[in-house]
């Protein structure tokens, strides 16, 4: 048995869903610990595309229980839509296929509205997903939050709803928002609560019991380590803990239970929204990566900013999440380029840095130092598939060497068959038993 945490090692959108989906072949539980409907995991199975926003990527495997952990923020309007859509396609057939933590906080319609109104202000440069993530975590920290379990207690729900609206109304009206209709919201949310009733449980306890039984458990990160509220590129971050430690805090599972941490990074870098991005390519190569990699937000449709692979950023992710092995995804997107660049360090104020600085001014001033490698041919342009060329192998090996971690997986396309796994933490744990 093994307990594995998988984190995105960049700014999100690393293709985690695909790798997690593959690893879930042996997992019994796939657990999300933070964030909410701001995430969007794209999975392609048998040529069909599925996007999940709240439900973990294990949803397409029968016999896997998907868990939404306590530190998540859950928008029940999104969750119910997602549950209905997956059930209609034959997934989540049993109630035990999905667990939603009773203590996860609820995103209310006015959290989304506040997020949108703030984001629309010209002085706001963060560029959120407008899914109400920040305002929901604010309510949680201010201890005026409503939780998933409250949906099953109508009187308590209505009372707390009235309190929360009273607390947030001044902010809403100051930004030009309308006063929320508590009666309408309560009727809508309590009805959604009835639909979610079979799934609502103590997720922490359930995952703990699974670990004690010896089941394979995978914690699936949403967003990426660089968006972590404490260890990311603040203030251009999300409002939750995206580092591996967040999985332990989020589910109330002790760090001693974790066997390994796997980081996922693309062969290049992207970010959505504002904030410094030292290796950003504002030229034809950047456009090419965006087009080839379909780098448009799966939740918001926004074009993602694209750039070369940034090892100082990856080193920060490795250090703050204790990443032991790496998966490199979307290497097919780089195919056909004559040369491929890797940022191996930064120059900041006359100093050379190996790891990304988190002072926002230093980061904005960072000049990337590049190493150039030979590119590999586009698919079909040579006898050898791109993944089997010397140049591609050299790129993968060089990344591993420069960050001091083995590369466990490489991915060369969206489908399951296009990911090459050289070490499966669940399989090796099973073999060791």
Rank residues 26 and 290 by Cβ distance to ligand IMP and give the closer one. 290
Residues 307, 10: Cα–Cα separation, whole Å: 12
Rank residues 128 and 411 by Cβ distance to ligand IMP and give the closer one. 128
- The phi, psi pair for 27, rounded to 5°, reads -85, 150
Question: Is residue 411 part of the contact set for ligand IMP (CB under 6 A)?
Answer: no
Residue 386 CA, chain-centre distance (Å), reads 27
Residues that are catalytic: 13, 41
**Alpha helix stretches (DSSP H) within 358-424:** 360-365, 390-403
β partners of residue 195: none
Burial category of 304 from C-beta neighbours within 10 Å (exposed 0-12, middle 13-18, buried 19 and up): buried
Q: How far is the CB of 239 from ligand IMP (least distance, A)?
A: 6
Size of the site for ligand IMP (CB under 6 A): 21
Query: 247-250, long-range: CB within 8 Å, 24+ apart, which pairs?
Result: 247/5, 247/31, 247/33, 247/69, 247/219, 247/221, 249/33, 249/71, 250/33, 250/34, 250/69, 250/70, 250/71, 250/72
Write down the residue that tokens 């010896």 correspond to.
214
- C-alpha Rg value of the chain to the nearest Å: 22
Question: Is residue 111 part of the contact set for ligand IMP (CB under 6 A)?
Answer: no
Q: How far is the CB of 338 from ligand IMP (least distance, A)?
A: 29
Residues 344, 342: Cα–Cα separation, whole Å: 6
- Asked if 259 contacts 4 with a C-beta cutoff of 8 angstroms, the reply is yes
Rank residues 26 and 140 by Cβ distance to ligand IMP and give the closer one. 140
Residues 353, 225: Cα–Cα separation, whole Å: 19
- The phi, psi pair for 259, rounded to 5°, reads -90, -45
Q: Which of 238, 320, 387, 419 binds ligand IMP (CB under 6 A)?
A: 238
Q: How far is the CB of 133 from ligand IMP (least distance, A)?
A: 4
Write down the residue that tokens 């985690």 correspond to.
16
Rank residues 190 and 309 by Cβ distance to ligand IMP and give the closer one. 309
Q: Which of 13, 295, 310, 332 binds ligand IMP (CB under 6 A)?
A: 13
Question: Is residue 273 part of the contact set for ligand IMP (CB under 6 A)?
Answer: yes
Q: How far is the CB of 236 from ligand IMP (least distance, A)?
A: 6
Question: Is residue 56 part of the contact set for ligand IMP (CB under 6 A)?
Answer: no
Question: Is residue 134 part of the contact set for ligand IMP (CB under 6 A)?
Answer: yes
- Asked if 179 contacts 172 with a C-beta cutoff of 8 angstroms, the reply is yes
- Residue span binding ligand IMP (CB under 6 A) among the ranges 126-134, 205-213, 315-323, 423-431: 126-134
Q: Which of 39, 78, 210, 217 binds ligand IMP (CB under 6 A)?
A: 39
Q: How far is the CB of 134 from ligand IMP (least distance, A)?
A: 5
Q: Which of 133, 192, 363, 373 binds ligand IMP (CB under 6 A)?
A: 133
Residue burial 323-358, b: 16+ Cβ < 10 Å; e: rest: bbbbbbbbbbbbbebeebbbbbbbebeeeebebbbe
Question: Is residue 265 part of the contact set for ligand IMP (CB under 6 A)?
Answer: no
- Residue span binding ligand IMP (CB under 6 A) among the ranges 124-132, 251-259, 316-324, 358-366: 124-132
Tokens, residue 348: 């900041």
Q: Single out the residue of 270, 215, 160, 202 nearest to residue 29, CA to CA.
A: 215
- Residue span binding ligand IMP (CB under 6 A) among the ranges 33-41, 44-52, 288-296, 315-323: 33-41
Question: Is residue 233 part of the contact set for ligand IMP (CB under 6 A)?
Answer: no
Rank residues 12 and 413 by Cβ distance to ligand IMP and give the closer one. 12
Residue 223 CA, chain-centre distance (Å), reads 3
Q: Which of 31, 32, 33, 38 binds ligand IMP (CB under 6 A)?
A: 38
Q: How far is the CB of 394 from ligand IMP (least distance, A)?
A: 29
Rank residues 65 and 107 by Cβ distance to ligand IMP and give the closer one. 107
Question: Is residue 310 part of the contact set for ligand IMP (CB under 6 A)?
Answer: no
**Alpha helix stretches (DSSP H) within 89-202:** 109-120, 133-141, 154-174, 182-196
Question: Is residue 272 part of the contact set for ligand IMP (CB under 6 A)?
Answer: yes
Q: Which residues of this protein are in contact with ligand IMP, per CB under 6 A?
A: 11-13, 38-40, 126-129, 131, 133-134, 222-223, 227, 236, 238-239, 272-273
């Amino acid at each position: 048995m093994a307990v594995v945490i998988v984190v995105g090692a960049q700014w999100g959108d690393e293709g985690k869903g695909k790798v997690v989906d593959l690893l879930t072949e042996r997992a019994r539980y796939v657990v999300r610990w933070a964030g909410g409907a701001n995430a969007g995991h794209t999975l392609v199975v048998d040529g069909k595309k599925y996007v999940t926003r709240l439900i973990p990527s294990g949803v397409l495997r029968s016999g896997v229980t998907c868990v939404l952990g306590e530190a998540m923020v859950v928008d029940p309007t999104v969750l119910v839509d997602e549950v209905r859509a997956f059930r209609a396609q034959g997934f989540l057939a049993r109630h035990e296929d999905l667990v939603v933590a009773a203590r996860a906080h609820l995103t209310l319609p006015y959290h989304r509205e506040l997020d949108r109104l703030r984001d629309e202000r010209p002085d706001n440069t963060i560029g959120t997903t407008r899914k109400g993530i920040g305002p929901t975590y604010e309510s949680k920290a201010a201890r005026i939050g409503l939780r998933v379990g409250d949906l099953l207690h109508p009187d308590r729900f209505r009372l707390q709803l009235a309190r929360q609206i009273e607390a947030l109304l001044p902010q809403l009206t100051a930004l030009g928002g309308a006063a929320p209709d508590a009666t309408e919201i309560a009727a809508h949310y309590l009805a959604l609560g009835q639909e979610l009733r079979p799934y609502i449980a103590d997720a922490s306890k359930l995952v703990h019991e699974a670990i004690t039984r010896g089941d394979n458990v995978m914690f699936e990160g949403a967003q990426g380590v660089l968006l972590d509220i404490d260890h990311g590129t603040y203030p251009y971050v999300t409002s939750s803990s995206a580092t591996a430690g967040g999985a332990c805090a989020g589910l109330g599972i002790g760090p001693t239970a974790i066997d390994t941490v796997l980081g996922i990074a693309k062969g290049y870098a992207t970010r959505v929204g504002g904030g410094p991005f030292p290796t950003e390519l504002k030229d034809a190569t950047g456009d090419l990566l965006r087009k080839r990699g379909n780098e448009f937000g799966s939740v918001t449709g926004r074009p993602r900013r694209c750039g070369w692979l940034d090892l100082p950023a990856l080193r920060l992710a490795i250090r703050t999440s204790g990443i032991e092995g790496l998966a490199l995804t979307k290497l097919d997107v780089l195919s056909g380029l004559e040369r491929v660049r890797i940022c191996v360090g930064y120059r900041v104020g006359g100093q050379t840095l190996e790891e990304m600085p988190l002072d926002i001014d230093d980061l904005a001033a960072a000049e990337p130092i590049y190493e150039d490698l030979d590119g590999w041919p586009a698919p079909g342009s040579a006898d050898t598939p791109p993944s089997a060329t010397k140049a591609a192998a050299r790129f993968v090996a060089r990344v591993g060497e420069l960050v001091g971690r083995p590369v466990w997986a490489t991915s060369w396309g969206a489908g399951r068959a296009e990911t090459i796994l050289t070490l499966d933490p669940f399989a090796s744990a099973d073999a060791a038993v």
